[in-house]
Structures are given as C-alpha cells and as structure tokens.
Structure 1
Amino acid sequence: MLDVRKLRLLRELAHRETIAAVAESLNYTASAVSQQLSALEREAGVPLLERTGRRVRLTSAGRTLVDHAGTIFAVLEQAGADLAADHAALTGPLRIGVFPTANRAILAPALVALSTEHPRLELMVTELDPILAPGALRTEALDIALVQEYDYVPVDVDPALDTEPLLAEIIYLAALSPGALASHQRSQWVAGTPGTLCHTMTVRACQAAGFTPRIRHHADDFGTVLELVAAGQGVALVPELGARATPPAVALTPLPTQRRTHIAYRRGTGTHPAISAARTALHSVIRRSRSG
C-alpha cells in the first residue's frame, strides 16, 4: 500500500520542482526527501521521477499519482472534518494566514468574533505575502488563509485547495495630483519587493498602459508607500484597503482594475467546524463593512 506521507512529498515536488525546495518547506533534509521518494517508487512499482543531473521531474506515472493524491488527501481531510463535527465545542489550534493590509481591516475584527463565540479555539495568526499562502496550506503550516489576485496577475488554480470570494477592491493611482496611468511613464515609481504580487501587479499594469515603470523605491507596507508618494519620491498603485490612511498631499485616481481577495483552505476542510466558523466570521466582517 502507498504511504500517504510519501505521497505528500511527491505532491510538493510537483509544485516546488526541486527536492531542496520540498525539504525546506517541510523541514526535512534533502537526503531524507530523496530516500522517501525512492521508497515510494518501490511501493508504486513504476518510475515516478526522471533524474537528469541535479534536476528531477515527474514521469507520466508520477503525475497520475499526484492527481490521485489530491483526491486521497481531500477524502482524509473530509473524514477529519466529519469527526470534528461530533465535538460539542470548538477547541484546538486554528492557524490563519493573512496579508498585511487585511490584517487590521478584516482579520482583527474576525478574531474578536471568533474568540468571543469560541473561547477554546487557539487562534494563531501568521502574516505573509499571499503568494506563499498556498504552499503553507498544503504543508499544513496554515489551516485557512486570505489569498489575493489582481486583474493583471491571475493566480493559478491549486487543485489541493478550495477557495471562495471574499472582497473586491478598487486599485488607485497614488500621486501628488490626479492623472491617468499613461501620463506617468517618465515618473519614478514606488512598488513592492520583487517577487511579490504587488510588485508584479505594478509592472504589468504599467506595461498594459504602454510603458515599463522606473521603480525607484521598494516597500511592502502601503502606509510607507503613501508616505513616499507624499514626499515626492514617486507614484504608486495602491488597493482600497491600503489607501485608508492616505496623506492629505496624495491624490487617489481610481483605475479600471481590481484586487480580489479569497478565503482559501485545503480541499475537504471546508465543513470542519473551526474552518466554517472562521469563514463565517470573515464574511460577517465584510458585510458589516459594506453596510457601514
């Protein structure tokens, strides 16, 4: 019989592409990952990996097994959710991942509601860039997370996860005076750290307007971004949640593009009482915010 723990390693290899990355994500050594994958090949009775020098890729049999692994893990998660539903009260840890601008505006009031209604839940929050959240969910470092995508930066569907829409935000051009995006092709820009969704969104939105931005400053906190704009250090793209404390000197021009936030969790866990309670609390925050 195939070992579920080894299947998890194979699935992560399909996502992360190198044994070193799999080892880092799961706190294993690379040699331990290699040994476990070799053992899985022996259990399967067919080659699952093709090794060329230091590179490893999945064979067709390996990809087929990864597809089946997704179903297996979802069934196991659903079984755990069904068992948890028999408990009278919600207890134990609930690990939540959130990106910075959603922490204060969305998650904080949701945590108040969860703590009040379910005092025995052990709420554990990790702030991280949403590009890292899917991997943290797959490896069970997180149980539920807020993830996002921009019109110009669609996110690939992860078959290991279920998602549901939570919030859509306007994207603003932040500058010292109102104006069209195309008018700033010679301006200096402030953008997120390279590799983040915010940085990619800025580059692609400007390219769609016909130019590549000249990025002078990198900052991931939108409060810092807006202060840099107010100081005349450049212009920037800022989503609605990040623009709540805009300095008086900064003009915000709405653009025809959006940032969309989704709630994400592992397939099969959506009906788990703790996950369900968190989903309800998050949606309630958005409803109150919009009605207010």
Structure 2
Amino acid sequence: MLDVRRLRLLRDLAQLGTIAAVAKAHTYTPSAVSQQLAVLEREAGVPLLERTGRRVVLTPAGVVLVRHAETVLAALESADAALADARGELSGPLRIGAFPTAVRTLLPAALVALGRDHPALELMVAELDPVAVPEALRERRLDVALVHDYDIMPVEPDRTVDAVPLLDETVFLATRSTGSDDDPIGTTRNADWIVGTPGTVCHAVTLQVCRAAGFSPRVRHHADDFDAVLALVAAGQGVSLVPQLATAQAPPGVHLIPLATRRHTKIAYRQGASSHPAIAAFVLAVQAATATYLAH
C-alpha cells in the first residue's frame, strides 16, 4: 500500500522541482525527504526518480504516479469536507490569503458576515501576492485565497488548485496628464514608471503591457500598495497601471485612463475542497461582499 504522506512529497517534488525545496516546505531535512522517496520507490516497485547532473527528475512512472497522487489527495480533501459537514457547526481556523487591494475593499465585509453567521470560526488573514498562493495552499498554510491574473498574461492553471471566478476589473493608466485615448500606453514611452516589486504579478504585467506597445518602461519607483502608487503619480513621479478596486479614492490631479486590459480575480482552494462548509461559507460571503461593494 502506498503511503499518502510520501505521495504528497512526490507530488510536491513535481511542483517545486528540487528536494531542497520540498524539504523546506515540509520542514524536513533534504536527506529525510530523499529517504522517504526511496521508500516510496520500493513500495511502488519501479524507479520514480532519476538523476540528471545535480537535479532529480521524475521517470515516466513517477509522472504517472504524481497524477494519481493528485487524485488521491483531492479525494482526501473531499472526505475531510464531508466530515466537516457531518460535524454541523463550523469551527476552527480558516486561513485566508488575499492581495492588498482585496484585503482593503472586499474582505472586511465578508469577515464581518462570517463572524456573525459562524462565530466559532477562527478567521485568519494573510496578505500575499497571488504567485505565492498555490504553494501556501499545498503546504496548508492557507485554506482559501483570493488570487488574480490579467488577460494579457494569464497564469498557467495549477493542477492542485481549484478556483471560481469572483470579479473582472478594468485596468487604468494613472497619469498626471490626460494622455491619448487612442494610444494611452504609447504616450508614456518616455515617461518614468512606478511598478510593483520584481517577482509580483503586477510588475510582470506592467512590463508585458509596455512591451506590447513596443517599448520597455523606464522604471523609477517600485511600490506594491496602490495608495502609495497613486500618491507618487499625484506627486508627478511617474505613471502606473492601477486596477479598478484601487481607484475609489484617487488623489486630485490623477487622471485614470481605461485600458483594454482586464484583471480577473478568483477564489482559490485546494482541489477537492470546494464542498467543505467553511470554504463554501467563505465563497458566499465574499461574493456577497463583492456585489455590495460594486453596487456602491
């Protein structure tokens, strides 16, 4: 019989790429991970890993087993959801991840509703960039999260994560000048830019939008908080891309020019967890909070 904990290690190796990364994710030593994977190979009766230089890669049999491991782990999530439903009252921790604009605009009302309707739930929010969410879900540091991507740079789906759509937003060019409605990005070719921290989704999207217009942005400032971004724009420090959720209180003098680019927000959770009553309650609460926010 294959051990579920070892299957999870193999699945995470397929996702993270190195034994060192798997060890860090599980707070094991690399040698402990290697030993557990060696035991899994003996259980499977076929080689699952092979070394290419200093790297370890999956054999064809290892790839097949990872696919089945994902099915098994999703089934365990579904079983946990069924047991939680059988217990009745929602209780215990619900670890929620979200990006900053969602924490500021959509989450507060959802948290109030969840606390009112399910007082035994322990709601815990962590602010993080969407690129970090799949790993945090796999490591069970999060149970559910709000994530986003952009139509100009869609994120490759993660097989370990399921998601439901929540919100589509217009993306604006924030600038001190009125710009051109025909080619607003093109008019910023010689402007200074305010972009997100390298490695974030927003940083990558800004580069992609400018490249699509035929130039690389001249980056002057890095800022991840859109209130700070808009303040810098108002101070004449550059231009930036800003999503709709961040534009409610734009400072005087900032012009917001709508672009064709859209930002898509989704609610993400581990594969198989959609029927967990706490996840379902969160989905309903944040959907209602989003509808209310947009109505105002």
TM-score bucket of the superposed structures, by smaller chain: over 0.9
Summarize deviations over 1:142-190 as a string: whole Å, max 9, x none: 1101111111221111111111000111100011012211111111111
Q: Does 1:249 align with 2:287?
A: no
Q: SS of 1:123's equivalent?
A: strand
Aligned residue in 1 for 2:141: 141
Aligned residue in 1 for 2:177: 177
Aligned residue in 2 for 1:222: 226
For the residues of structure 1 that align with 2:146 and 2:35, how far apart are their CA atoms?
34
Q: SS of 1:234's equivalent?
A: coil
Q: How does 1:9-24 map to 2 (within 5 A)?
A: 9-24=9-24
- Identity rate of aligned residues, in percent? 58
Q: How does 1:32-43 map to 2 (within 5 A)?
A: 32-43=32-43
Summarize deviations over 1:102-134 as a string: whole Å, max 9, x none: 002111110000000000001111111110001
| Letter in structure 1 aligned against 2:293 | S
Q: SS of 1:95's equivalent?
A: strand
Aligned residue in 2 for 1:199: 203
For the residues of structure 2 that align with 1:3 and 1:166, how far apart are their CA atoms?
36
For the residues of structure 2 that align with 1:66 and 1:8, how far apart are their CA atoms?
9
Q: Does 1:239 align with 2:243?
A: yes
Q: SS of 1:194's equivalent?
A: coil
| Letter in structure 2 aligned against 1:217 | H
CA-based RMSD? 1.1
Tell me how many residue pairs correspond in the alignment: 292
For the residues of structure 2 that align with 1:106 and 1:25, how far apart are their CA atoms?
30
TM-score, normalised to structure 2, is: 0.96
For the residues of structure 2 that align with 1:178 and 1:115, how far apart are their CA atoms?
44
**CA drift at 1:230:** 1.4
Q: Does 1:285 align with 2:289?
A: yes
**Contact preservation (8 Å) 2:106, 2:293:** no
For the residues of structure 1 that align with 2:202 and 2:27, how far apart are their CA atoms?
28
Q: SS of 1:154's equivalent?
A: coil
For the residues of structure 2 that align with 1:245 and 1:28, how far apart are their CA atoms?
46
For the residues of structure 2 that align with 1:48 and 1:74, how far apart are their CA atoms?
21
Aligned residue in 2 for 1:53: 53
Poorly superposed stretches of 4+, deviation over 4 Å: none
Q: SS of 2:14's equivalent?
A: helix
Aligned residue in 2 for 1:156: 156
For the residues of structure 2 that align with 1:163 and 1:50, how far apart are their CA atoms?
33
Summarize deviations over 1:71-111 as a string: whole Å, max 9, x none: 10111111111111112311111111111110021111100
Q: Does 1:265 align with 2:239?
A: no
| Letter in structure 2 aligned against 1:122 | E
| Letter in structure 2 aligned against 1:37 | L
Aligned residue in 1 for 2:73: 73
For the residues of structure 1 that align with 2:143 and 2:32, how far apart are their CA atoms?
25
Unpaired runs of 5+ residues, structure 2, are none
For the residues of structure 1 that align with 2:59 and 2:268, how far apart are their CA atoms?
29
**CA drift at 1:222:** 0.8
TM-score, normalised to structure 1, is: 0.97
For the residues of structure 1 that align with 2:203 and 2:143, how far apart are their CA atoms?
26
For the residues of structure 2 that align with 1:279 and 1:260, how far apart are their CA atoms?
16
For the residues of structure 2 that align with 1:31 and 1:218, how far apart are their CA atoms?
39
For the residues of structure 1 that align with 2:229 and 2:265, how far apart are their CA atoms?
20
**CA drift at 1:283:** 0.6
Aligned residue in 2 for 1:26: 26
Structure 1 pair 290/227, CA: closer, same or farther in 2 (3 Å)? closer
Stretch moving more, 18-27 or 109-118: 18-27
Q: SS of 1:85's equivalent?
A: helix
Stretch moving more, 131-140 or 22-31: 22-31
**CA drift at 1:238:** 0.7
**CA drift at 1:5:** 0.6
For the residues of structure 2 that align with 1:68 and 1:91, how far apart are their CA atoms?
31
**Contact preservation (8 Å) 2:148, 2:264:** yes
Aligned residue in 2 for 1:100: 100
| Letter in structure 1 aligned against 2:193 | W
